Structure 1
Amino acid sequence: MDWLQLHPLSLYQGAAFPFALLFNYLCSMDSFSIHARYLFLLTGGHLLALAAMGSYAVLVFIPALCAVVLIYTLSPQEVHRCTFFFQMSWQTLCHLGLHYTEYYLQEAPSMRFCITLSSLMLLTQRVTSLSLDICERKVEAVSRDIRIKSSLSQQLHEALPYFSYLLFFPALLGGPLCSFKRFQAHVQGSSSLHPRYSFWSLTWRALQILGLECLKVALRRVVSAGAGLRNCQQLECIYVMWSTAGLFKLTYYSHWLLDDSLLHAAGFGSELGQSPGEEGYIPDADIWTLETTHRISLFTRKWNQSTARWLRRLIFQHGRAWPLLQTFAFSAWWHGLHPGQVFGFFCWAMMVEADYLIHTFANLFIRTWPVRLLYRTLTWAHTQLIIAYIMVAVEVRSLSSLWLLCNSYNSVFPMVYCVLLFLLARRKHKFN
């Protein structure tokens, strides 16, 4: 998701906030039936999609409809493979349309189309999460015999939870991934047990968002007043890269907190519907860990946490050879395969692999606390600079900007980890 898209997305998320509070309030009333709850979420999703995307909303409605059709027509063993192939093919075609506009026509893409692509990426998460749940028997799909005997109205009634899950408005434009079982348990929960939003919790999130927005305004002035990657010289380029990446991170943090607040306002941030052994609700933004960790691998797990868990379940756990590289390669595909994304995610995979080896060997040889403190301080600074390098690489759109980044002093930081990866991998091989 391009950080430039996040500002209009935040406006639409903010506009949906009163409807999320209304939904949570209605769910506490016995007269608000389960069928009406599903319809409210689905109707809200359609209206929000039309408001944010305009005519491009059809690019989201079509794959959602096709996903439900595939779920109803295929066996549990086949549904994940087919829905995954269709959803990623559809999303890739839409991303190719963006490539055609940006790189061939040399035109700025429509903001509504960019928002549509962002929503499609989130829809892919929900579609594949649901299909995996069905394939793994965590969610029971309607049997074929029952489907054949059911009338059209009954089939539509049975398909309503799936449609509502794929298009429910609190998660249409952002937010941590919510599993279908958690979604269904919340919607079907008793009104007496239905979680209500916490006023103080939402107020605290609002204050955090306000603080991040103030920091973002101040940092944007610093970035705009200074030299860019084209005009910076030598060590100045390091400061330019760090401040630019800081602006990207503040934008993401603010948007993730708003998404999290919207889900909480609608009641989907509770532990209702959590199965035994299932990880609880985790927001995408763990700002303290992200800004204080000295390990790239931990940063990777905590950055956009629900997406990281989804990638781990979808790709990493099923990868037979080089699962880490497969995961980052798929992430680049899911994001759109822009040149900066391909380079950035490949670099990220190398850095995570190096991080594991570096800290494993360091823990063997560093014993005294002063040396360990010095080691943590240096690796923290190095981690932050490497992450800044990757983030700027992923966010830049033109090959010329990517070349300027790679040809600057900033490339020293990932190169140090690449050299250490090569040396430590050889040493590990000798030990084995």
Structure 2
Amino acid sequence: MMCTHVPGWTKAINLSGRFIQMELCEMNTLREDNSQLISRYVSLGLGGCLLAVGTMGVYSLVVLVAVLGFALLVVWVPPDRVHGWMFWGQMLWQTVWHLLLQHGEGLLPQGRGVRALVAVSSLMLLTQRVTSVSMDLQEGRIHLPQGGAASCPLFLLSLCSYVLSFPTLLGGPLYPYSRFVGCVEGSGPGAPPLPLGAVSLKLLQVLLLEGVRAGLLRGLPGPGPAAAGGPGPAGACLCLWGVALALRLRYYSHWGVSEGLNLAAGFGPQGPDRGGLSDGDPWTTEASPRVSEFARRWNATTAAWLRRLVFRRGGRCPLLLTFGFSAWWHGLRPGQAAGFLGWGLAVRADYTLHRHVGTALSSRWGRGLYAGLSWAHTQAVITWVVLLVEARGVAPMGAWSSGGVAPLGAWSSVSVLLFPLLNAALALCFLLKPRAFS
């Protein structure tokens, strides 16, 4: 019986060869995965560039310069200091263009004026994304590669693709960078199919909202001899509420289209944060019985961004600072400043009333009456805010309400000018810590 003996050095060579072969296979697999990730990031970012150029024309430079500044700050500034540079740089750049748009809006031709407005609106959304990344870097939620961002082109590409992604360039809910990376990395051949049912449901919801909005506008009294005298107090209030509701329905429709686009692009709900891609459900938001609840549900991802950016860092007056910054972020026109600061006072008044009145009611009918009156007060506050912000001032509001949708006469001016006084008086009655927005 013969026994073959394999030398030890032969076994070592075989093991080394197998190890090298496995390493080469892993390197090839990793290279293929990286090439697929690069192609996805490039597709999203390049799609955003093409969409910006197509919709904004020469004003796309407003957005592209901001993206370039974002990338340079990530590369050059340490993570613990990048947020301050990012915040002030982005807000100053955005404010400059807001002022240029306000003072030159009437001088631009109609086509260029629309393109400039689209560019500034996209810049506002870009501010949300770049400051979210800077806060993540500051708080350690995003870890830079060893050697910094410049040493890892894939990391820098993913950041630029996140802030310039075409599904969120012109609208859509704000989701964190980590979620964006997870969706991109999970969109390979083994990914689940596109949620066509969810996309179709979003589109049907948008059509329903547009139908309700069209019917509501048809039901409002228009300008003409029959309405020359103007409606009475109750009619004026109903007309104002109807106009504001129609404007809010337009926002809900826009959010629905944006959410459907994100779903179709593969950025759907996943994991435990399944409800994080919605900016507001119209039925839940409009049924909010309190002003503070409406503030949390309206444009929900932006409200969460404001809480993180301003409210939790706001010091002694976080509530008013949050709504004041919201007015600055929107453009700081007189109507916007008055509307958002009035909204902040109403939220504080809501907290005061609920603390001292709502908790003192014990009977069922008393709580029901309080809930109904609170809902009516919420609708009145939001009506006042929406009309004033959309009109961008008290004087345009009076002209618009008198000659545009319905001749509301003096009642609209009185409601616009005097309504905030009630909320201001209630808010200043008690100096309480504003926990309603936390």
TM-score w.r.t. length of structure 2: 0.81
Residue pairs, 1:110-125, within 5 angstroms = 110-125=113-128
**1:384 matched to which residue of 2?**
379
**1:5 matched to which residue of 2?**
none
**346, 368, 377: which one pairs with 1:373?**
368
Name the CA distance, whole Å, in 1 between partners of 2:161 and 2:223: 47
Q: CA deviation at 1:107?
A: 8.2
Q: Does the alignment pair 1:244 with 2:239?
A: no
- Which structure exhibits the higher relative contact order, with contacts defined as CA atoms closer than 8 Å and separated by 6 or more residues? 1
**1:267 matched to which residue of 2?**
266
Q: Does the alignment pair 1:291 with 2:286?
A: yes
Give aligned-pair identity as a percent: 38
Q: CA deviation at 1:222?
A: 3.6
Q: CA deviation at 1:79?
A: 0.8
Q: Does the alignment pair 1:46 with 2:49?
A: yes
Q: CA deviation at 1:375?
A: 1.4
Q: CA deviation at 1:343?
A: 0.3
Q: Does the alignment pair 1:407 with 2:413?
A: yes
**2:144 matched to which residue of 1?**
141
Q: CA deviation at 1:145?
A: 6.3
Q: Does the alignment pair 1:191 with 2:197?
A: no
Name the CA distance, whole Å, in 2 between partners of 1:340 and 1:158: 42
**Structure whose alpha-carbon radius of gyration is higher:** 2
Question: Structure 2: which amino acid aligns with 1:358?
Answer: L
In structure 1, the gaps of 5 or more residues are 1-28
* Residues 94 and 117, structure 1, Cα contact 8 Å, conserved in 2: yes
Name the CA distance, whole Å, in 1 between partners of 2:241 and 2:68: 43
* Residues 259 and 277, structure 2, Cα contact 8 Å, conserved in 1: no
In structure 2, the gaps of 5 or more residues are 1-31, 402-411
Q: CA deviation at 1:199?
A: 1.9
What is the number of residues matched between the two proteins? 387
Q: CA deviation at 1:142?
A: 3.3
**2:207 matched to which residue of 1?**
210
Sort the Cα spacing of 1:190 and 1:201 in 2 relative to 1 into closer, same or farther, 3 A.
closer
Question: Which stretch shows the higher mean deviation, 353-362 or 187-196?
Answer: 187-196
* Residues 216 and 247, structure 1, Cα contact 8 Å, conserved in 2: yes
**1:312 matched to which residue of 2?**
307
Q: CA deviation at 1:99?
A: 1.5
Q: CA deviation at 1:136?
A: 0.7
Question: Structure 1: which amino acid aligns with 2:84?
Answer: R
Q: C-alpha offsets along residues 230-262 of structure 1, whole Å, 9 cap, x if unaligned?
A: 984551432231111011101000000111111
* Residues 42 and 164, structure 1, Cα contact 8 Å, conserved in 2: yes
Question: Which stretch shows the higher mean deviation, 173-182 or 415-424?
Answer: 415-424
Name the CA distance, whole Å, in 2 between partners of 1:342 and 1:106: 25
Q: Does the alignment pair 1:99 with 2:102?
A: yes
* Residues 47 and 165, structure 2, Cα contact 8 Å, conserved in 1: yes
Sort the Cα spacing of 1:279 and 1:91 in 2 relative to 1 into closer, same or farther, 3 A.
farther
**2:172 matched to which residue of 1?**
175
Sort the Cα spacing of 1:424 and 1:145 in 2 relative to 1 into closer, same or farther, 3 A.
closer
Sort the Cα spacing of 1:53 and 1:232 in 2 relative to 1 into closer, same or farther, 3 A.
farther
Sort the Cα spacing of 1:161 and 1:323 in 2 relative to 1 into closer, same or farther, 3 A.
same
RMSD: 2.8
Name the CA distance, whole Å, in 2 between partners of 1:167 and 1:70: 16
Residue pairs, 1:391-402, within 5 angstroms = 391-402=386-397
**339, 342, 358: which one pairs with 1:344?**
339
Name the CA distance, whole Å, in 1 between partners of 2:166 and 2:359: 50
Q: CA deviation at 1:189?
A: 2.3
